[in-house]
């Protein structure tokens, strides 16, 4: 099987505490780790030959504005600092969003419930989050809030504060998808009212998907992303062909859980299914694949 482990990105979830390793019922094999346990986990990934991780924070408290996302010593900044000290060669990408930090569960700042997300206030929070991650040593920040001009605003903020080397992985095309269910379980980030259809993309809309990608490249994204994976390979193919820009595909939580649960019910062999899926995503044009299967793939390939 021709999979380059150096091109897989493994998502990890970190929360405050010690000795924590909480498995998520909806995602067998995926855990929330405390920073100490996260270090053990990354050591294991490194030994397996994986090189990239995507880090999500799960805060112990939420508030309306999601202030813990950019507070001094926020959980992601703390974890990144520890990780980069122990594993300088691991590429650390941090998710930059508010949804797991806001009490309402939306990805941006809401000033007036009737008006929804306030884009300007959201951009300013996203920049603060990105700066705190960059300051602790993140190699890439990955804005996933789908706020307008988020890549441009973050690039500018990073440059202004001297973080010119910090790169941006843009969640360029994020469809309003049913496949995110299990993730919201892990991150405890389901919207408490309404849904994300005002800022995530309609899944029937291919034209705007390509426009979002073009915008992100112009705004300065080093890598663009299509998310989810399997249902959207037409977009992946066209994006790669048209823009020839480094491209990541997010094989999301719902895609992962379906494979796992199907394998548990003996509907298929997990390994065979995973290899078929990853090959399909690669064939469509992905350079990088963000997948919860990365660790299993590395284990299989090492054997
Ligand atoms: C939002 C975000 C989502 C995911 C990662 N960041 C989606 C959402 O809740 O709308 C989903 C990832 C997955 O399903 O694996 N900031």
Among 189, 192, 277, 291, the mutation site with the greatest number of ligand 1 atoms within 8 A of its Cβ is 189
Residue 293, ligand 1, Cβ within 6 A:
no
Note whether residue 236 is domain-resident. Answer: no
Note whether residue 67 is domain-resident. Answer: yes
What pLDDT is recorded for position 262?
Answer: 97
The alpha carbons of the chain give a radius of gyration, in whole angstroms, of 18
Distance 56 CA to ligand 1 centre (A): 10
**What whole-number distance in Å separates Cα of residue 170 and Cα of residue 144?**
7
Note whether residue 130 is domain-resident. Answer: yes
Note whether residue 231 is domain-resident. Answer: no
| Peptide linkage before 262 cis (omega within 30 of 0) | no
pLDDT digits (tens, 9 = 90+) for 66-101: 999 999 989 999 999 999 999 999 999 999 999 999
Q: What is the CATH number of the domain that holds 100?
A: 3.20.20.70
Planar angle of CA 298, 240, 211, nearest 5 degrees:
125
Among 180, 182, 281, the mutation site with the greatest number of ligand 1 atoms within 8 A of its Cβ is 180
Tell me the torsion sign for CA atoms 6, 295, 89, 100. positive
Note whether residue 199 is domain-resident. Answer: yes
Look-up of token digits 């939580």? 253
Note whether residue 277 is domain-resident. Answer: no
**What whole-number distance in Å separates Cα of residue 41 and Cα of residue 77?**
17
**What whole-number distance in Å separates Cα of residue 70 and Cα of residue 131?**
8
Atom of ligand 1 at shortest distance to CA of 99? 16
Domain hosting 18: range is: 5-223
Q: What is the mean pLDDT, run by run of 10 residues, along the chain of 303 residues?
A: 92 97 93 98 98 97 96 95 98 97 95 90 97 98 95 98 98 94 90 90 94 96 97 97 98 97 97 97 98 98 93
pLDDT, mean over the chain:
96
What pLDDT is recorded for position 224?
Answer: 97
What pLDDT is recorded for position 198?
Answer: 87
In the chain, how many domains are there?
Answer: 1
pTM above 0.85, yes or no: yes
Residue nearest to atom 14 of ligand 1 (CA): 180
What pLDDT is recorded for position 24?
Answer: 87
Planar angle of CA 65, 67, 71, nearest 5 degrees:
170
Residue 253, ligand 1, Cβ within 6 A:
yes
pLDDT digits (tens, 9 = 90+) for 165-218: 999 999 999 999 999 999 998 888 899 899 998 889 999 999 999 999 999 999
What pLDDT is recorded for position 215?
Answer: 96
The residues assigned a catalytic role are 174, 227
């Amino acid at each position: 099987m021709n999979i380059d482990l150096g091109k897989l990105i493994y998502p990890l979830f970190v929360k405050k505490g010690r000795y924590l390793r909480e498995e998520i019922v909806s995602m067998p094999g995926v855990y929330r780790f405390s920073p100490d346990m996260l270090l053990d986990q990354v050591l294991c990934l490194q030994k397996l030959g994986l090189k990239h991780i995507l880090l999500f924070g799960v805060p112990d408290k939420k508030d309306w504005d999601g202030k813990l996302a950019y507070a001094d010593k926020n959980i992601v900044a703390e974890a990144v600092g520890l990780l980069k000290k122990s594993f300088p060669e691991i590429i650390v990408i941090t998710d930059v969003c508010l949804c797991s930090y806001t009490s309402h569960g939306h990805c941006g700042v809401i000033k007036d419930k009737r008006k929804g997300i306030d884009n300007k206030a959201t951009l300013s929070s996203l920049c603060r989050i990105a700066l705190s991650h960059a300051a602790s040593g993140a190699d890439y920040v990955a804005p996933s809030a789908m706020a307008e001009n988020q890549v441009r605003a973050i690039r500018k903020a990073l440059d202004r504060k001297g973080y010119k080397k910090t790169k941006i992985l843009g969640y360029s095309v994020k469809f309003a998808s049913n496949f995110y269910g299990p993730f919201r379980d892990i991150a405890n980030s389901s919207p408490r009212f309404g849904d994300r259809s005002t800022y995530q993309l309609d899944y029937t809309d291919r034209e705007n998907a390509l426009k979002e990608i073009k915008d992100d490249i112009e705004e300065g994204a080093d890598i663009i992303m299509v998310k989810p994976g399997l249902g959207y390979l037409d977009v992946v193919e066209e994006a790669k062909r048209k823009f020839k820009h480094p491209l990541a595909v997010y094989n999301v939580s719902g895609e992962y859980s379906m494979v796992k649960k199907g394998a548990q019910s003996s509907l298929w062999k997990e390994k065979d299914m995973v290899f078929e899926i990853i090959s399909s995503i690669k064939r469509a044009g992905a350079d990088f694949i963000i997948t919860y299967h990365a660790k299993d793939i590395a284990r299989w390939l090492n054997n």
